[in-house]
Amino acid sequence: MKIFCYAICFLLVAGQSVNADSKDPNYVNELLRTRAEFVVKDSKDPEVLLRRIWDATINVIKAEDIDRRTKENLIDKIINPIFDFPLMSKLALGRKNWSKLNSQQREKFIDLFVKRLRNSYRGKILLYTNQTASFKPGVHKKKTLQIPMDLVSEDHKLAMLYKLRKMSERWKIYDLEIEGVSIVLTYRSQFDDVLGRGTVEDLLSLLEKPAIPDKPSK
């Protein structure tokens, strides 16, 4: 999904500044990993956390001594504390469709769906160029928090809205909107269509197939 590209460009890894001029890849890897984990554990304020993630992501993307695979591994280690993937999976499938799955199918669906999300942003992380993030104050909606952000380039401004809920004293992202379009609801529409014409096994088989790569945005 093209809209997913912009959001995942920066909500991936966390940490503080890194010396990209270091000649020791192992040193850089360990430095980024420990600082990334520190930021997530240290920041209970979701607005502060998102800002720190943005700053750190730029450092990771620009770190010349870290290869792509290492960056992907760092992303995997940091993304779980930030996103509520199980909830995103349930919301994307919808309550009605979720009830159609047995326990084994639910487990397989979550596994496949999360892999698809991860593969999607892995393929787009290096598309970042010189965009800047402009955050706005978060707005509480019942038990959730919505944090608006604009991703700005020289000739374009992309409006994004991060939706979070609090889990075990930590705020986690369960959905995001790009230009008013929900990632979760977009997937739900696709899944409704598949299940409306076929079976749960058809949906699982579809998720097992590689997604069509998105084209870089202009």
Let me know if residue 163 belongs to a domain: yes
In a domain, 218, yes or no: no
Q: Which residue has the tokens 């009830």?
A: 99
Instruction: Write down the pLDDT at residue 37.
Output: 52
Is 95 contained in some domain?
Answer: yes
No. of helices (H) and no. of strands (E), the chain? 9, 6
d(CA 115, CA 128): 21
Structural domain contains residue 165: yes
Distance CA 43, CA 53 (A): 10
Task: Say which CATH number the domain at 135 has.
Answer: 3.10.450.710
**CA 136 centroid distance within chain:** 19
Indicate whether 10 belongs to any domain: yes
CA atoms within 13 A on the CB side of 159: 5
Question: Rounded to an integer, what distance in angstroms lies between the CA atom of residue 12 and that of residue 80?
Answer: 10
Instruction: Look at the chain and report how many structural domains it folds into.
Output: 1
Residue 12: predicted pLDDT: 40
User: 113 with 92: CB under 8 angstroms?
Assistant: yes
Give the global pTM.
0.76
- 201/132 Cα distance (integer angstroms): 42
User: How far is 195 from 66, CA to CA, in rounded Å?
Assistant: 42
Q: Within 10 A of 60 (CB to CB), how many other CB atoms are there?
A: 24
pLDDT tens string, the chain, 218 residues long: the values are 554 544 554 454 333 333 334 444 554 555 555 555 544 555 578 888 878 777 766 677 777 788 878 877 776 776 677 889 889 999 999 999 999 999 999 999 999 999 988 877 666 655 666 778 888 999 998 889 999 988 888 888 889 899 999 887 788 999 989 889 998 999 999 999 999 999 999 999 999 998 765 554 44
| Residue 197 in domain | yes
For residue 46, give the nearest of 182, 177, 174, 185 by alpha carbon. Answer: 174
What is the reported pLDDT for 21?
Answer: 40
Q: At what angle do helices 183-197 and 200-208 cross, to 10 degrees?
A: 120
215 located within any domain = no
Q: Tell me if 76 is assigned to some domain.
A: yes
Which domain, by its residues, includes 21?
A: 2-208
